[in-house]
Amino acid sequence: MPDLRKDPIVGRWVIIATDRAKRPHDYQRPPAPQAVSGFCPFCPGNESHTPPEILAFREPGTAANQTGWRVRVIPNKFPALQIEGDLEKRGDGIFDLMNGVGAHEVIIESPAHESSMARLPVDAIREVLWMYRDRLSDLQRDKRFVHGLAFKNSGPAAGASLEHCHSQLIVVPIVPITIAEELRGSLEFYKYRDRCIFCDMLRQEVDQRERVVLETEEFVAFCPFASRFPYETWIVPKRHSSHFETTSRESLAAMAGVLQGVLRKLERALDNPPYNYMLHTAPFGSADLPHYHWHLEIIPRVTGIAGFEWGSGFYINSVLPEQAGAILRDTVVELGAGLPTRGSDC
């Protein structure tokens, strides 16, 4: 079983997953983009080549692990964490560790062998968001777990190892440090001003407009004031809410349109960049938090990070967020239906 180990200085946790271990010389270079093979385990008809499904949205009358699904969730075949076992926290002198209990699931976003979520019809994206909601709602009933992160790696340079478009969900037994820092910072602001800092930020973005990429009745997409990366874009609900999984299905349908729009704008403006997105939501089990606000962060992976960023936590961004906002805002894209597929045959 993997170990979870805590850095004693800053409190950052690390998953030591040695089932994935390699010999030293296997690490000569960052993994090369994986060649597209003829066989895709995520395509319909190949369900038996994946672990049995956890949940799928299916056509009426179709059976589990058969064709007929629209969105399908399976356990990750090479999980970073293991779902079975009790949580055992222990010490080793000055150090803290626990066994690596958690969930690591893969959400296959479409039966079509399409590499880009941006090209899916809005209804398919809506069902992916619904699936995040359903899986987070289910997994939080497990009292061992305290937080779930849904995320996407799109393109080999962003960490995707299979082309067929998919996202992942990792549920962990401790609050991740990134979320803990957002909670701490937003609580400090709330104590001082009695307002949600995300709500304040949204008001200013909507007023100033210069960094806004897309705005609808319920959502705003914008390039944040202190964007770490060129064309970084956040999607934030206008109505205050700390827990993504409490969002109504109607609101998620609205969000799907915004997500599709932003991804299509990024794809067109940056010529199909590799990117990651991460769904930041409050830890499980708490009531709605007045200071925290769930949101989706999208980071195109068009520049690398190096020693300065690793050593300081500073980022160097060479594109003004106002310029990125204007370019994305002015990029015209079709919305709604699916686009001609770009996946390879399989």
Catalytic residues: 166
**Which residue is associated with the tokens 């992916």?**
128
| Pair 236, 293: CB distance under 8 Å | yes
Residue 98, interface with a second copy (CB under 8 A)? no
> What is the rounded end-to-end Cα distance, in angstroms, of the chain?
35
Q: Contact region for a second copy (CB under 8 A) — 57-65, 124-132, 133-141, 223-231?
A: 223-231
Question: Which residue, 102 or 343, has its beta carbon nearer to a second copy?
Answer: 102
Decide if residue 185 touches a second copy (CB under 8 A).
yes
Name the residue nearer to a second copy (CB basis): 58 or 228.
228
Number of residues that bind a second copy (CB under 8 A): 100
Which amino acid, 199? C
Q: Which of these ranges, 108-116, 138-146, 173-181, 236-244, lies near a second copy under the rule CB under 8 A?
A: 173-181
Distance, in Å, from the CA atom of 221 to the CA atom of 206, rounded to the nearest integer, reads 10
Supply 260's token pair: 């599709």
Rule CB under 8 A: say whether 38 interacts with a second copy.
Answer: no
DSSP-derived 3-state class of residue 60: coil
From the CB of 146, what's the least distance to a second copy, in Å? 12
Q: Which of 46, 82, 246, 323 binds a second copy (CB under 8 A)?
A: 323
Residues whose CB falls within 8 Å of the CB of residue 126, separated by 6 or more in sequence, listed in order: 252, 253, 256
Distances (CA, A) of 314 to 77, 173, 181, 311, 322: 35, 28, 15, 8, 19
Q: Could you say which of 1, 87, 98, 149 contacts a second copy (CB under 8 A)?
A: 149
CB under 8 A: which stretch of 14-22, 47-55, 120-128, 129-137 binds a second copy?
Answer: 14-22
Q: Which of residues 102-131 bind a second copy (CB under 8 A)?
A: none
Task: Check binding of 132 to a second copy (CB under 8 A).
Answer: no
How far does Cα 274 stand from its chain's mean position? 14
The only residue of 243, 276, 294, 333 in contact with a second copy, by rule CB under 8 A: 276
CB of 47 to a second copy, least distance (A): 25
Which of 41-49, 65-73, 109-117, 306-314 is the region at the interface with a second copy (rule: CB under 8 A)? Answer: 306-314
Task: Tell me if residue 147 falls in helix, strand or coil.
Answer: strand
Q: Tell me which of 68, 189, 215, 254 binds a second copy, using CB under 8 A.
A: 189
User: Does the footprint of a second copy cover residue 35 (CB under 8 A)?
Assistant: no
Q: Out of 226, 287, 332, 345, point to the residue binding a second copy (CB under 8 A).
A: 226
Which member of 237, 273, 283, 338 binds a second copy (CB under 8 A)?
A: 273
Of 45, 85, 90, 181, the one binding a second copy by CB under 8 A: 181
Amino acid at 222: F
Distance (Å, whole) CA 73 – CA 291? 32
The CA-based angle 52-56-59, given to 5 degrees, is 120
Asked if 95 interacts with a second copy (CB under 8 A), we say yes
Look at strands 212-215 and 219-222 and give their pairing.
antiparallel
Provide the β-strand partners of residue 90: 97
Task: Show the binding pattern over residues 75-94: x = contacts a second copy (CB under 8 A), - = does not.
Answer: -----x-----------xxx
Q: Measured between alpha carbons, how far is 203 from 221 in angstroms, rounded to an integer?
A: 12
Q: Which residues on neighbouring strands pair with residue 82, listed in sequence order?
A: 101
Three-state DSSP state, 197:
helix
**157 versus 253: smaller Cβ distance to a second copy:** 157
Question: What are the beta bridge partners of residue 74?
Answer: 106
